[in-house]
Amino acid sequence: MQAIYGGTFDPIHYGHLNSVTALAEQVSLHQIIIMPNNVPPHRPQPEATSEQRRKMVELAIANNPLFTLDCRELKRATPSWTVDTLEEVRAEKGNQQPLAFIIGQDSLLSLPHWHRWESLLSLCHLLVCQRPGYPLTMETPERQQWLETHRTSSVASLHQQPAGCIFIAPTPLYDISATLIRQRLAAGQPCDDLVPAPVLNFIHQQHLYR
């Protein structure tokens, strides 16, 4: 099964990479497609340019056959909704193959604010990585009900059905965020245990996050 991993990746870090590597093992994913997003103008802009974010992902996944990079959202002049991108991917792959979208626990909680969020499960499964510091239940009883309705603990279901399940994976907790990394770099603190070395070298070379 293939899974798409969307995010800003400003920068990509071990919280991303280690969580989804553990997830891949737990649910037998054979490919994770990293898809950096184009940030809408009304949101806080990434500090790194699209090109720099792309390059950092490339450096982080070099020689790792589990990962590929899809720049379709970055290349567009305008930001795209996840649901629209998934519809496009579905049109390419057809409706039969299982497809998953990976999010962290924080994104699961905010999912009901995403554009056409209730359509997401008709297009893909949602695979959720644990993240420390976020509640395990949704904000309202209705949303919790939605979660319970779709939630599965069966890995087999993820492979047998093309879409429609939410799997909360028992991934290890990584207390790492891109915000923390940007703050540490701005304060001149080391980030060797948070970001892969080639990415960190690139960050220094480009004078990023100072």
The residues that touch ligand ATP, with contacts defined as CB under 6 A, are: 7-10, 15-16, 19, 103-104, 106-107, 129, 131, 174, 176-179
Give CA separation, 57 vs 11, 63, 68, 154, in Å.
8, 12, 9, 31
The smaller minimum CB distance to ligand ATP, of residues 96 and 179, is found at: 179
Give CA separation, 157 vs 160, 184, 188, in Å.
5, 41, 47
Alpha-carbon distance of 9 to 208, in angstroms, equals 13
* CB contact at 8 A, 89 and 70: no
The smaller minimum CB distance to ligand ATP, of residues 177 and 206, is found at: 177
The nearest distance, CB 129 to ligand ATP, in angstroms, is 4
The smaller minimum CB distance to ligand ATP, of residues 100 and 129, is found at: 129
The smaller minimum CB distance to ligand ATP, of residues 16 and 54, is found at: 16
Alpha-carbon distance of 187 to 181, in angstroms, equals 10
- Which residues have a Cβ under 8 Å from the Cβ of 20 and sit 6 or more positions away? 3, 5, 32, 102, 129
The smaller minimum CB distance to ligand ATP, of residues 25 and 95, is found at: 25
| Nearest Cα to Cα of residue 18 among 174, 185, 157 | 174
The nearest distance, CB 94 to ligand ATP, in angstroms, is 26
The nearest distance, CB 49 to ligand ATP, in angstroms, is 15
The nearest distance, CB 178 to ligand ATP, in angstroms, is 3
Alpha-carbon distance of 202 to 210, in angstroms, equals 13
| Nearest Cα to Cα of residue 112 among 140, 78, 70, 77 | 140
The smaller minimum CB distance to ligand ATP, of residues 75 and 160, is found at: 75
The nearest distance, CB 90 to ligand ATP, in angstroms, is 20
DSSP structural state of residue 3: E
Alpha-carbon distance of 171 to 132, in angstroms, equals 11
The nearest distance, CB 5 to ligand ATP, in angstroms, is 7
